[in-house]
Structure 1
């Protein structure tokens, strides 16, 4: 039997290389589904966010220097980084709200 928190998982999907096509096997299996705890899922999500932002920054540099062949790659990477950042900020805000609500509970 799984723990109640073990069923919670974040959409941790590997970021495919720009221009490659990821099949359904690339999106199956999150860290929580593989037996990870909440802290490891959160750490993996933050690491993935950093990687997504780094890829976007790299493509932005290539676009600025004229080395980027297809501007669509940069636009897709920038939007992925933006959405991932918004998701992490929203999760952080919800966690802070939950903590604040728990702290208000009478003992």
Structure 2
């Protein structure tokens, strides 16, 4: 039976036949680090694309303001989302640190 945390059923940890978790802590850390790195790179890519289109618009190389504004808005939303996720992760970490064993 999976425990309930804040009304949400938590996934059970699966064990292989030898009684060990199916993924090692090192692998989990590596997977998390790779996912985090990819997400940060995506945020950076959207910011770079926005900056390059804005510069091209300022230099007169692009006449389509519509696409420049869409790119800038995508970059803004991506950055704001990453900041909100960061805040939620910090809140979750603080909550875990307050838990008693």
TM-score, with length taken from structure 2: 0.67
Rg comparison, structure with higher value: 2
**Which residue of 1 is the match for residue 47 of structure 2?**
53
The partner residue of 2:93 within 94, 99, 102 is: 99
- For structure 1, the 5+ residue unaligned runs are 5-35
State the alpha-carbon separation in 2 of the partners of residues 97 and 63 from structure 1.
Answer: 40
TM-score where L is the length of structure 1: 0.63
**What is the aligned partner in structure 2 of residue 83 from structure 1?**
77
Question: Could you list the runs of 5+ residues in structure 2 that have no partner in the other structure?
Answer: 1-10, 12-29
Q: Which has the higher contact order (CA 8 A, sep 6+)?
A: 1
Aligned Cα RMSD in Å?
1.4
How many residues matched?
73
